[in-house]
């Protein structure tokens, strides 16, 4: 027991414009849960994918025991007993649970056809070993709950008889109770001698299950520590790498006048219920909450993507009815979306056109456009925001995450909107770019613009906001001013515990 | 609150579970039965069943491909191609059974090429198969100089007239092909891959599964189905006709969608498709029986099919 | 700026189309003696006019990442409708207006199916194609119409100096489409929609309006093409638009406009339409039966789309390498 079963030496992996991993050493013992931790974009998922064979590193070696291996595909890793439970589900919606678990490895009967009976029995016994026999193996996975789907994912992984399992942010979409039952199962797997790599960025949770922690930052390994030898503060310092007050710098600022107000705002799907919030000129208001708490839905509602189901929305004192993004933007509101690649940018399009996407019509109200003027405007914003690109004609897909996010910012700055919604503004970008974005937010607030910031990174919410609303289950579960509540208090409100759900 | 009470009623629950395609079918039957006395006779219904067979097979093929998030616009052209090849080769002296097999093998090859272009070339299935449709049409027209080609052989008559246990042979063939397609879809690895291609292609890539082989197999299997459809069509027409299948691919897409197969997420199956095809056949037959001039039929059929797809799509969205 | 646009053109798919056009041109003049005469060049352009006009509208639709498979049938229907109206004595200007409105209605119908019902565009417009072709059959009642008023046929057969009027119309249409797509905010909306529909929505692009406009543009150009086609033939027949459906798709795709949307444009489409017309012209000059035309067009489409997909993937990998070097 407890011998080292996996070692990596000097793993380096590059993507266009960014070194995702820089000479990373890592090792895993049997019977342990080894936690990989770091901020967004630190390289933890990339390392996991290299170990799983999904990425081929440019440099470095991987050893299983003492044997050097090189994985070209996930199949190579699979054949050596390394399996993954991915963050995004890999289930096929209209195949049943058993078919999903044994996909592409279905047991056959003597006619060469799939032996559904045997497959279902095997699936049942695996689920039983996970204490999940309540899941009906004959149901299509489409109808299962998220937590149930995850159990099927784990069962699928187990059906390969693995030696090493990799969990990539498995709790992102689970409720607290579901997280606890997941942990119970992970402990059981660990006891059976599996080595488990657990990728996470939630500090609250990994003390409960991990043995060792490896901290990554900007693609570099900062260190590996035993979980008992380290406290929260030391961990945060390792992850962030500098004093928090430096990262989240806020200038003195005065607020004046309300620019945005919702009164018992609800959507039509029950994801947002009776939300009443306000935002003042020059203020940064954070909205904290778990994934699925209705934060993004609230943003979509305010921005006019989804129709309003009930309640009222006021922008600068004017009630907005039958809203659409076109209307909302005219009122001076802009939105930096959660999913930059899908909603924020046209990746195949150039920096130039993405920068001009919103503002084109205001620069050229007479419909005819001038390429020369567009080039000048776009170049100006690219310089202002220090977007690292050879020229404005470069397609956005070739930029790093941080530079892509700067282009999104340029898009809204050029449109001169004075109220901004930032939905997860620092997801998937490196620390340097993060700090630039924080500085930009601070500068916008000083200039008298107002920001509504949605984030699941608590330090970010606490560090940047003048005021914080906490969302839980579609409702506002609490409100506090800068410095009023600690991270722990906010965290428990996010989970819907801690008593009062009235507005404080 | 009312809605909640209603859904607890088992009768209403049952009625709600019936797919729209059945309702549209029933409405059509009642409309046509009012317009003609002969409509509700058994012989007319048995006729319709026989008429539906060639399209039925094409629709099974289309359903498989739609399940993978593709669409094959060359299926109709494949049917024409098979009728032409079979007669052409037989005329050239090849024994009739051998030429039949060769014709079907050729349409399977066409399918395999489609699958290869779509998966290896990574291009949208509809544009690849649209190209193939035109290539096949050209070949059929060139081989026949644009007209029908004939041979006399008692085989054709025998096939269309033969009955087994009271049902025409061609209907049995359709049943057999249904069974084979069903087995492929639900009892083989390939079938699971069909749902995988349609439902979660990323997952397949993550699992390191090669997407090219299953695509080739599926499109080739579709070629088998259109091949058999082409043979039956030839027997009915007793000739090879270069444009006989034109538009069948569209009717097959319509039947597939009406049968509840989704274009997006690998949802559905061939059971519903059977009803979709019956609906289209009833529609065509009804227009004939109630004396609508054939000149008007194309537009009317196209319009009704399109409207059914629209109503169906809107109804499904309202439900979810 | 000029340098940049040349550089961009070299990088674009249209550049390959241009090389293709040059190659086909050279080969055509080598194997067919009659090809490189003034008369034949004018013939090519005249033959190509209808295709060129159809392709300008379809370019807008394909730039949004959608497809319109109904343009051939739509031009046929408008042609038939106009011929019937002219035969029954309706004045020419009224006929034009009715023709253009019909085209716009077909466009709106397609926009409805794609934008509101949310059917995949190629299925929706394939359906429209069948319906519209069926309507042509009904309008013509199985006949062919000859002998249209001279004032009308002049549009298709008349000359301004040595240049056929129809070529001038095509040229104007190309310029109008070019300005609309490349030089206006409306054109940018179309590109934005095609590059990433969600991002366009979040950037306050009126996406429904944009989609409808593209389909209406395609319907109206199909109507203009149909009117000119009827005028040039001095006849109408219910199947006259059929062959154009696929050729138009081929012209746009060969011109380098991506089926995925957001890339390409009118410049490429002009190249594609001329290239395709030359191929058909050469086949006519060589006396190849018209039955072979769909095959050639089909092969051209397949080869072009495969090439496009291949070079796109190669481009991705080379730029990756580029940026690695610069690190």
Write out pLDDT tens, residues C209-249: 999 999 999 999 999 999 999 999 999 999 899 889 889 99
Report pLDDT for A378.
Answer: 95
- For residue B266, give the nearest of A90, A93, A106 by CB distance: A93
- Give the tokens for residue C284: 């006519």
Least confident of A203-207, A314-318, A482-486: A203-207
The contacts of residue B15 (CB under 8 Å, 6+ apart) are none
Query: pLDDT at residue A34 above 50?
Result: yes
Residue B62 touches partner C, C-beta closer than 8 Å:
no
C323 with A17: Cβ contact below 8 A: yes
Say if residue C226 is exposed, middle or buried (CB neighbours under 10 Å; 0-12, 13-18, 19+): buried
What is the DSSP pairing of strand A164-168 with strand A82-85? parallel
| Average pLDDT of the residues in A309-329 | 93
User: Is residue C61 a part of any domain in this protein?
Assistant: yes
Report pLDDT for C69.
Answer: 95
Query: Are A36 and A214 a contacting pair, CB within 8 Å?
Result: yes
Report pLDDT for A230.
Answer: 84
- For residue C1, give the nearest of A303, A348, A371 by CB distance: A371
Say if residue C271 is exposed, middle or buried (CB neighbours under 10 Å; 0-12, 13-18, 19+): buried
- A130 and A212 co-located in one domain: yes
Q: Which residues of B touch C134 (CB under 8 A)?
A: 296-303
Report pLDDT for A498.
Answer: 53
Q: Name the residue of chain B whose CA is nearest to C253's CA.
A: B127
Scanning C128-157 for CB atoms below 8 A from B yields: 128, 130-131, 133-135, 137-138, 141-142
User: Is residue C316 a part of any domain in this protein?
Assistant: no
- A297 and A148 co-located in one domain: no
Residue A95 touches partner B, C-beta closer than 8 Å:
yes
User: Is residue A384 a part of any domain in this protein?
Assistant: yes
Integer-rounded Cα Rg, in Å, for chain A is 24
* Best C196, C308, C312 residue to mutate vs chain A (most A CBs within 10 Å): C196
- A189 and A68 co-located in one domain: yes
Most confident of A15-29, A346-360, A483-497: A346-360
Q: How far is C45 from chain A, CA to nearest CA, in Å?
A: 30
C292 with B247: Cβ contact below 8 A: no
Contacting subunits of B (3+ beta carbon pairs below 8 A): A, C
Q: Which residues of C touch B145 (CB under 8 A)?
A: 291
User: Is residue A396 a part of any domain in this protein?
Assistant: yes
Least confident of A244-248, A484-488, C243-247: A244-248
- A108 and A214 co-located in one domain: yes
Q: Which residues of C touch A357 (CB under 8 A)?
A: 192, 199-200, 203, 205
pLDDT digits (tens, 9 = 90+) for C259-275: 889 999 999 999 999 99
Q: Which residues of C touch B124 (CB under 8 A)?
A: 122, 259
- A232 and A369 co-located in one domain: no
Count of domains forming chain A: 3
Report pLDDT for B1.
Answer: 35
A88 with B202: Cβ contact below 8 A: yes
Contacts 24+ apart (CB under 8 A), B172-175: B173/B53, B173/B228, B173/B232, B174/B52, B174/B53, B174/B56, B174/B57
Rounded Cα distance between A247 and A463, Å, is 8
User: Is residue A251 a part of any domain in this protein?
Assistant: no
Report pLDDT for B219.
Answer: 98
User: Is residue C324 a part of any domain in this protein?
Assistant: no
Q: How far is B266 from chain A, CA to nearest CA, in Å?
A: 7
* Best C13, C124, C127, C296 residue to mutate vs chain B (most B CBs within 10 Å): C127
Q: Name the residue of chain A whose CA is nearest to C2's CA.
A: A372
- For residue A348, give the nearest of C1, C195, C320 by CB distance: C195
Residue A448 touches partner C, C-beta closer than 8 Å:
no
B195 with A94: Cβ contact below 8 A: yes
User: Is residue A338 a part of any domain in this protein?
Assistant: no
Q: How many CB atoms lie within 10 A of CB C6?
A: 11
* Best B179, B185, B200 residue to mutate vs chain A (most A CBs within 10 Å): B200
Q: Which residues of C touch A347 (CB under 8 A)?
A: 195-196
A94 with B267: Cβ contact below 8 A: yes
Report pLDDT for A416.
Answer: 92
Element (H, E) at A197: strand A195-200
Q: Which residues of C touch B303 (CB under 8 A)?
A: 131, 134
* Best A52, A73, A94 residue to mutate vs chain B (most B CBs within 10 Å): A94
- A190 and A325 co-located in one domain: no
Query: pLDDT at residue C1 above 70?
Result: no
Beta strands in B100-191 (DSSP E): 149-150, 163-164, 167-168
pLDDT profile of chain B (320 residues), mean per 10: 48 68 79 77 83 97 95 97 97 96 98 96 91 96 95 94 90 96 95 92 82 96 98 96 93 90 85 91 85 86 85 76
- For residue A346, give the nearest of C4, C196, C326 by CB distance: C196
Q: Considering only CA atoms, which of B122, B142, B125 is closest in space to residue B67?
A: B125
Q: How far is C298 from chain B, CA to nearest CA, in Å?
A: 4
User: Is residue A252 a part of any domain in this protein?
Assistant: no
User: Is residue A486 a part of any domain in this protein?
Assistant: yes
pLDDT digits (tens, 9 = 90+) for C271-326: 999 999 999 889 888 888 889 989 999 998 899 889 888 887 777 665 544 444 33
Least confident of A72-81, A370-379, B98-107: A72-81
B188 with A113: Cβ contact below 8 A: yes
Domain that holds residue A115: 4-244
- A20 and A82 co-located in one domain: yes
Query: Are C43 and C167 a contacting pair, CB within 8 Å?
Result: no
**What CATH number did the domain enclosing A495 receive?**
3.40.50.300
Q: Considering only CA atoms, which of C274, C221, C267 is closest in space to residue C45?
A: C274
**What CATH number did the domain enclosing C89 receive?**
1.10.3470
- A498 and A434 co-located in one domain: yes
User: Is residue A504 a part of any domain in this protein?
Assistant: yes
Query: pLDDT at residue A275 above 50?
Result: yes
* Best B74, B81, B124, B138 residue to mutate vs chain C (most C CBs within 10 Å): B138
Residue C160 touches partner A, C-beta closer than 8 Å:
no
Q: Considering only CA atoms, which of B130, B126, B109 is closest in space to residue B68?
A: B126
C126 with B141: Cβ contact below 8 A: no
Residue A16 touches partner C, C-beta closer than 8 Å:
yes
pTM to 2 decimals?
A: 0.88
| Structural domains of chain B ordered from first start | 44-319 (1.10.3470.10)
- A234 and A289 co-located in one domain: no
- Please report the sign of the dihedral spanned by the C-alpha atoms of residue A396, residue A401, residue A406, residue A408: positive
C294 with B296: Cβ contact below 8 A: no
- CA angle at B90 for the pair B89 and B91, rounded to the nearest 5°: 90
Report pLDDT for A497.
Answer: 66
pLDDT digits (tens, 9 = 90+) for A212-225: 999 998 889 999 99
Rounded Cα distance between C290 and C297, Å, is 11
- For residue B209, give the nearest of A99, A104, A106 by CB distance: A104
DSSP class of residue A396 equals G
Q: Name the residue of chain B whose CA is nearest to A76's CA.
A: B208
Q: How confident is the model at residue C9 (pLDDT cuts 50, 70, 90)?
A: low
* Best A92, A97, A116, A152 residue to mutate vs chain B (most B CBs within 10 Å): A92
- For residue A343, give the nearest of C199, C320, C326 by CB distance: C199
- CA angle at C119 for the pair C139 and C268, rounded to the nearest 5°: 80
Query: Are A395 and A350 a contacting pair, CB within 8 Å?
Result: yes
Residue A371 touches partner C, C-beta closer than 8 Å:
yes
Q: How far is B172 from chain C, CA to nearest CA, in Å?
A: 31
Rounded Cα distance between C11 and A348, Å, is 14
Count of domains forming chain C: 1
Rounded to a whole number, what is the distance in angstroms from the first to the last CA of chain C? 27
B266 with A92: Cβ contact below 8 A: yes
* Best B131, B144, B252 residue to mutate vs chain C (most C CBs within 10 Å): B131
| Average pLDDT of the residues in A407-413 | 95
Q: Considering only CA atoms, which of B64, B24, B26, B122 is closest in space to residue B270?
A: B64
| Average pLDDT of the residues in C151-177 | 94
Query: pLDDT at residue C161 above 50?
Result: yes
User: Is residue C8 a part of any domain in this protein?
Assistant: no
Contacting subunits of A (3+ beta carbon pairs below 8 A): B, C
- Give the tokens for residue A448: 């008298």
User: Is residue A311 a part of any domain in this protein?
Assistant: yes
- A402 and A448 co-located in one domain: no
Contacts 24+ apart (CB under 8 A), C39-46: C40/C281, C40/C285, C42/C162, C42/C163, C42/C164, C42/C167, C43/C281, C44/C274, C44/C277, C44/C278, C44/C281, C45/C164, C45/C167, C45/C170, C45/C274, C45/C277, C46/C164, C46/C166, C46/C167, C46/C232
C130 with B121: Cβ contact below 8 A: no
Domain that holds residue C273: 14-311
Residue C87 touches partner A, C-beta closer than 8 Å:
no
Residue C288 touches partner B, C-beta closer than 8 Å:
no
Contacting subunits of C (3+ beta carbon pairs below 8 A): A, B
Q: How far is C323 from chain A, CA to nearest CA, in Å?
A: 6
Q: Which residues of B touch C305 (CB under 8 A)?
A: 121, 123, 127-128, 131
Using alpha carbons, list the distances in angstroms from residue C175 to B309, C225, C268, C270: 38, 16, 13, 11
Q: Which residues of B touch A89 (CB under 8 A)?
A: 203
């Amino acid at each position: 027991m407890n011998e080292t079963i996996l070692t990596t030496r000097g793993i380096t992996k590059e993507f266009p414009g960014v070194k995702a991993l820089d000479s990373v050493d890592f090792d895993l013992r049997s019977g342990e849960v080894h936690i990989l931790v770091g901020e967004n974009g630190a390289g933890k998922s990339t390392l996991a994918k290299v170990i799983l064979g999904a990425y081929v590193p440019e440099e470095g070696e991987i050893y299983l025991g003492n044997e050097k291996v090189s994985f070209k595909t996930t199949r190579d890793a699979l054949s050596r007993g390394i399996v993954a439970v991915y963050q995004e589900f890999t289930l096929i919606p209209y195949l049943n649970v058993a078919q999903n678990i044994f996909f592409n490895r279905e047991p056959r009967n003597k006619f060469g056809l799939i032996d559904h009976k045997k497959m279902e029995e095997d699936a049942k016994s695996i689920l039983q070993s996970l204490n999940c026999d309540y899941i009906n193996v004959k149901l299509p996975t489409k109808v299962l709950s998220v937590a149930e789907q995850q159990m099927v994912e784990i069962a699928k992984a187990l059906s390969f008889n693995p030696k090493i399992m990799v969990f990539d942010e498995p709790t992102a979409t689970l409720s607290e109770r579901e997280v606890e039952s997941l942990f119970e199962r992970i402990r059981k797997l660990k006891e059976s001698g599996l080595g488990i790599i657990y990728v996470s960025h939630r500090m609250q949770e990994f003390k409960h299950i991990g043995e060792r922690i490896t901290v990554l930052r900007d693609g570099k390994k900062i260190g590996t520590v035993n979980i008992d030898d380290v406290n929260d503060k030391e961990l945060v310092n390792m992850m962030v790498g500098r004093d928090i007050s430096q990262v989240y710098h806020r200038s003195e600022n005065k607020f004046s006048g309300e620019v945005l107000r919702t009164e018992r705002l609800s959507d039509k799907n029950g994801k947002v219920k009776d939300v009443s919030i306000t935002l003042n000129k020059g203020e940064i208001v954070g909205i904290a909450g778990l994934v699925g708490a209705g934060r993004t839905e609230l943003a979509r509602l305010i921005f006019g993507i989804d129709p309003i189901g009930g309640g009222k929305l006021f922008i600068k004192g004017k009630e907005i009815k039958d809203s659409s993004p076109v209307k909302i933007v005219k009122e001076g509101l802009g939105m930096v979306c959660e999913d930059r690649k899908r909603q924020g940018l046209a990746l195949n399009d150039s920096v130039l056109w993405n920068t001009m996407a919103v503002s084109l019509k205001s620069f050229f109200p007479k419909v005819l456009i001038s390429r020369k003027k567009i080039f000048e405007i776009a170049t100006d914003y690219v310089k202002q925001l220090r977007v690292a690109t050879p020229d404005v004609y470069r397609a956005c897909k070739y930029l790093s995450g941080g530079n892509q996010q700067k282009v999104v910012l340029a898009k809204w700055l050029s449109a001169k909107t004075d109220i901004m919604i930032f939905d997860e503004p620092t997801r998937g970008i490196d620390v340097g770019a993060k700090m630039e974005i924080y500085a930009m937010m601070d500068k916008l607030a000083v200039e008298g613009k107002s920001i509504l910031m949605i984030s699941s990174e608590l330090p970010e919410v606490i560090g940047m906001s003048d005021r914080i609303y906490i969302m839980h289950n579609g409702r506002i579960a609490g409100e506090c001013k800068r410095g009023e509540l600690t991270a722990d208090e906010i965290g428990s409100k996010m989970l819907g515990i801690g008593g009062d759900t009235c507005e404080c | 609150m009312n809605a909640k009470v209603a859904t607890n009623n088992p009768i209403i629950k049952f009625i709600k579970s019936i797919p729209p395609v059945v309702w549209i079918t029933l409405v059509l039957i009642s409309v046509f039965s009012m317009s003609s006395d002969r409509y509700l006779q058994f012989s007319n219904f048995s006729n319709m069943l026989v008429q539906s067979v060639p399209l039925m097979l094409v629709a099974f093929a289309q359903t498989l491909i739609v399940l993978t998030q593709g669409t094959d616009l060359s299926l109709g052209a494949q049917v024409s191609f098979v009728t032409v090849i079979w007669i052409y080769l037989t005329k050239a002296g090849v024994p009739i059974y051998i030429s039949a097999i060769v014709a079907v093998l050729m349409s399977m090859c066409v399918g395999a090429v489609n699958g290869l272009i779509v998966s290896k070339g990574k291009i949208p299935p509809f544009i690849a198969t649209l190209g193939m449709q035109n290539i096949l049409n050209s070949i059929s027209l060139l081989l026949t100089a644009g007209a029908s080609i004939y041979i006399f052989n008692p085989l054709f008559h025998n096939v269309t007239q033969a009955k087994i246990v009271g049902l025409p042979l061609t209907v049995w063939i359709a049943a057999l092909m249904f069974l084979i397609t069903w087995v492929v879809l639900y009892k083989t690895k390939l079938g699971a891959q069909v749902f995988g291609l349609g439902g979660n292609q990323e997952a397949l890539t993550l699992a390191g599964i090669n997407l090219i082989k299953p695509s080739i197999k599926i499109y080739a299997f579709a070629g088998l189905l259109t091949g058999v459809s082409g043979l039956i069509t030839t027997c009915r027409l007793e000739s090879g006709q270069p444009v006989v299948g034109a538009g069948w691919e569209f009717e097959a897409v319509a039947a597939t969608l009406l049968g509840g197969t989704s274009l997006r997420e690998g949802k559905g199956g061939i059971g519903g498709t059977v009803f979709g095809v019956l609906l289209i056949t009833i529609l065509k037959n009804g227009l004939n029986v109630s004396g609508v001039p054939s000149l008007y039929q194309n537009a009317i059929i196209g319009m009704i099919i399109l409207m059914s797809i629209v109503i169906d799509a809107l109804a499904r969205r309202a439900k979810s | 700026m000029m340098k940049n646009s040349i550089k961009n053109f070299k990088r674009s798919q249209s550049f390959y189309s241009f090389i293709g056009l040059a190659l086909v041109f050279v080969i055509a003049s080598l194997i067919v003696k009659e090809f490189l005469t003034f008369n034949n060049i004018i013939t090519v352009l005249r033959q190509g006019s209808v295709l060129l006009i159809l392709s300008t509208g379809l370019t807008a639709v394909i730039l949004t990442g959608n497809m319109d498979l109904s343009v051939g049938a739509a031009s046929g229907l408008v042609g038939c409708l106009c011929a019937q109206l002219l035969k029954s004595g309706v004045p020419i200007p009224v006929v034009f207006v009715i023709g253009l409105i019909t085209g716009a209605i077909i466009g709106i119908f397609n926009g409805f199916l794609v934008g509101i019902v949310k059917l995949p565009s190629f299925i929706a417009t394939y359906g429209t194609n069948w319906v519209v072709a069926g309507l042509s059959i009904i309008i013509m009642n199985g006949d062919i119409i000859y002998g249209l008023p001279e004032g009308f046929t002049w549009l298709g057969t008349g000359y301004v100096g040595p240049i056929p009027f129809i070529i001038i119309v095509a040229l104007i249409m190309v310029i109008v489409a070019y300005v609309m797509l490349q030089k206006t905010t409306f054109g940018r909306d179309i590109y934005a929609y095609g590059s990433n529909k969600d991002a366009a929505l979040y950037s306050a692009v009126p996406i429904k309006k944009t989609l409808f406009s593209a389909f209406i543009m395609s319907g109206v150009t199909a109507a203009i093409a149909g009117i000119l086609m009827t005028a040039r033939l001095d006849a109408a027949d219910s199947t006259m638009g059929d062959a154009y459906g696929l050729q138009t798709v081929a012209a746009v795709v060969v011109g380098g406009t991506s089926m995925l949307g957001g890339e390409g444009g009118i410049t490429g489409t002009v190249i594609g339409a001329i290239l395709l017309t030359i191929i058909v012209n050469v086949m006519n000059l060589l006396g190849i039966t018209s039955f072979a035309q769909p095959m050639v067009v089909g092969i051209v489409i397949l080869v072009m789309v495969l090439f496009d997909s291949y070079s796109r993937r190669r481009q991705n990998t080379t730029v990756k390498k580029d940026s690695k070097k610069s690190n």
